[in-house]
Amino acid sequence: MSHTTIAYQGFPGAYSHLSCTKVFPQMKAFACESFVQAMYMVEREEALLAMIPIENSTAGRVEEIYRLMPKTHLHIIAEHFEPVNHCLLAMPNTKLEDLKTISSHPQALAQCNSAIENLNLAQIAHLDTAGSAQELAEKKSSSHAAIASKLAASLYGLDVLQENFQDIPGNTTRFIILSKKQSVPEYCEDKAFITTIMFTVRNIPSALYKSMGGFATNGVNMVKLESYMASDSMSATSFHLDVEGHPDQPQMQLALQELQFFSSEFRVIGTYLAHPFRQ
């Protein structure tokens, strides 16, 4: 199973599942109850890859992923940006005027709040967007709706009453694709690359400032810096850093050397092609 399987968190029809089918249509997508299960399936070689959301343009970062990554030996081999198309789903032959309640993940409900209020629907929070669609299909209620993906509608035999149900267009989720095997693409001048690093700074004054200096002096652009607590004692802060560049570039090598000098822990967890969405 492992060589043809990509793991994701959520119910079948979740946006993570949708991303799996778009990026790796030839692979079998396997639904997991948690991010930990999906990542450890790859760690144990029960799946070849995992599709993991790391940030959303509306909801922000998925904080849990930053704490889980250091506990694994996985590598980022690619990234994927998925536009979120929230769909209003209902049982077949249901009309808008029949609806009285609606369910979905709290973030999806919040992102569609104005549209929901316009229909005067009572909101019910659910653990998962696709899970709310599955529950609707099981209960077969003609007065209830769910907010989920178009894929969920297809999987559970529901009608799409309205696409792009969200209040603000452009909502996008960034996913990272994780593998147990490291895979670094060959450097090419006409291609854009992202390198992701996890590090913990040394316990000296201005350590973070000094560690970042190498990127500034060598003209390497930092696109993301996230902090998280590396231990339960809250005694050390670790960082997740995305930069534009490839380790084979001389300026990147100098910047990484300086970062490593001021770090007590340092690990490059992936170099991969920048997704076209970035452009």
Q: Are residues 77 and 105 in the same domain?
A: no
Q: Which of 175, 215, 239, 262 is catalytic?
A: 175
pLDDT(52) > 80? yes
CATH number of residue 264's parent domain: 3.30.70.260
Task: Say yes or no: 91 and 156 in one domain.
Answer: yes
The model's confidence at residue 59, banded by pLDDT at 50, 70 and 90, is confident
Q: How confident is the model at residue 236 (pLDDT cuts 50, 70, 90)?
A: low
pTM for this model (two decimals): 0.91
Does the residue 102 lie in any domain? Answer: yes
Give residue 184's Cα distance to chain centre: 20
Active site residue 175: yes
What's the pLDDT tens digit per position in 141-176? 999 999 999 999 999 999 999 999 999 888 899 999
pLDDT 10s digits, 108-128: 999 999 999 999 999 999 989
- Whole-angstrom Cα distance, residue 175 to residue 104? 21
Contact 32, 11 (CB under 8 A): no
- 72 and 99 fall within a common domain: no
Domain boundary among the residues 154, 179, 204 is at 179
Q: Quick one: pLDDT band at residue 58, thresholds 50, 70, 90?
A: confident
Taking phi over 0 as left and psi of -120 to 50 as alpha, with beta for the rest, 93 belongs to left
The verdict on 199 and 137 lying in the same domain is no
Of 173, 195, 196, 200, the active-site residue reads 173
Shared domain check, 152 and 199: no
- Cα–Cα distance for residue pair 72/162, rounded to 1 Å: 41
Q: How many domains does the chain have?
A: 3
Q: Residues 15, 65: one domain? A: yes
Q: What is the pLDDT of residue 3?
A: 81
| pLDDT of amino acid 10 | 95
Residue 95 pLDDT: 95
Q: CA–CA distance from 121 to each of 84, 102, 107, 240 (Å)? A: 22, 6, 16, 40
- Cα–Cα distance measured from residue 112 to residue 47, given in angstroms and rounded to the nearest whole number: 34
CB burial string 144-171: b at 16+ within 10 A, e below: bbbbbbbbbbebbebebbbeebbbeeeb
Distance between CA 136 and CA 142 in Å, rounded? 9
The three-state (H, E, C) secondary structure of the chain, written as one string = CHHHEEEEECCCCCHHHHHHHHHCCCCEEEEECCHHHHHHHHHCCCCCEEEEEEEECCCEECHHHHHHHHHCCCEEEEEEEEECCCEEEECCCCCHHHCCEEEECHHHHHHCHHHHHHCCCEEEECCCHHHHHHHHHHHCCCCEEEEECHHHHHHHCCEEEECCCCCCCCCEEEEEEEECCCCCCCCCCCCCEEEEEEEEECCCCCHHHHHHHHHHHCCCCEEEEEEEECCCCCCCEEEEEEEECCCCCHHHHHHHHHHHHCEEEEEEEEEEECCHHHC
| Average pLDDT taken over every residue of the chain | 94
> What is the pLDDT, as a whole number, of residue 194?
98
Catalytic residue list contains 277: no
Is residue 1 predicted with pLDDT exceeding 60? no
The domain that contains 42 carries what CATH number?
A: 3.40.190.10
Are 265 and 199 a contacting pair, CB within 8 Å? yes
Ranges 32-36, 130-134, 143-147, 228-232: which has the least confidence: 228-232
